[in-house]
Structure formats: structure tokens, C-alpha cells
């Protein structure tokens, strides 16, 4: 009988420990979730920070010292976008968290996500004549 109670007690303790661990993991994941973005503020920041000078006012891309990518309808996840901004390649300036917060970067990402992406060549009448 004592063995049976010990077994039940061990299972309850193990279940409680697993529940505490899972709860801690869920809380850690909630803290790691990227901030949600505000596209209106993102547009303001995109223009104010000069992103449009190379990437175009509609995120269509362009040329600076080399072709700059189109950012409209960005497919890059917000976490990757923020990491990219922190250590930008080539002539693109890097934006530390002191200069551009994660929330502001998420706002810019939301703005870029709200823009229509490039059209397919088959959707441009002049190219299909």
C-alpha cells in the first residue's frame, strides 16, 4: 500500500514539475515574441529615417551604389528584418537598438508588409503586346 502511495506521489510531483517547466517555456516564448507593428508610424519612420532614399517611397527598390532591393510586401519575418537592420551590409547604415528600437523597426516592417508587392510581368499590359 505504501508503495502505491509513493508511486502516485511521484507521478503527481513529475506532472507538477512538467507543468511548471511548460509554463516557464510559454512565458519565455511570450517575452521573445516580436513586437507587433503599426504601419502608420512605420511609414512616418521609413520617410523620416531616409529609407526611401534608396528603397523608394513605395518600397519599390532602386539604385544607389548598387541595386537596392524592393521591400514592398516584404517576405522577411520581422525578427530577421530587425537583425538585418542591426548589422546591415554594403553601404546601408546599421541601426542599433539605441537609434531604432525593436518596436520602431517592427512598425517599419508593418508598413512595408502593407505595401503591394511588385507586379508580375504578365500583369503589365505594355510588356504583353
Tens digit of each residue's pLDDT, the chain (129 residues): 555 544 555 554 445 445 455 555 444 444 556 567 999 999 999 999 999 999 999 999 988 778 888 999 999 999 999 999 999 988 899 999 999 999 999 999 999 999 998 878 888 888 888
Q: Which residues lie across from 23 on neighbouring strands?
A: none
C-alpha cell at 20: 511548471
Give the separation between CA 45 and CA 56, rounded to whole angstroms. Answer: 14
pLDDT at 129: 81
Give the separation between CA 82 and CA 109, rounded to whole angstroms. Answer: 9
Which of 108, 98, 4, 121 is CA-nearest to residue 59?
Answer: 108
Give the separation between CA 60 and CA 118, rounded to whole angstroms. Answer: 7
Query: Would you say the pTM of this structure is higher than 0.95?
Result: no
Give the separation between CA 32 and CA 14, rounded to whole angstroms. Answer: 27
Amino acid at each position: 500500500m505504501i508503495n502505491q502511495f509513493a508511486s502516485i506521489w511521484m507521478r503527481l510531483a513529475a506532472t507538477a514539475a512538467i507543468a511548471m517547466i511548460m509554463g516557464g517555456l510559454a512565458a519565455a516564448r511570450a517575452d521573445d515574441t516580436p513586437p507587433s507593428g503599426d504601419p502608420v508610424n512605420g511609414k512616418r519612420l521609413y520617410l523620416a529615417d531616409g529609407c526611401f532614399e534608396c528603397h523608394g517611397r513605395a518600397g519599390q527598390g532602386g539604385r544607389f551604389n548598387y541595386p537596392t532591393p524592393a521591400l514592398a510586401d516584404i517576405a522577411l519575418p520581422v525578427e530577421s528584418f530587425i537583425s538585418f537592420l542591426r548589422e546591415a551590409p554594403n553601404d546601408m547604415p546599421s541601426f542599433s537598438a539605441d537609434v531604432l528600437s525593436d518596436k520602431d523597426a517592427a512598425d517599419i516592417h508593418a508598413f512595408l508588409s502593407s505595401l503591394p508587392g511588385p507586379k508580375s510581368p504578365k500583369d503589365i499590359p505594355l510588356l504583353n503586346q
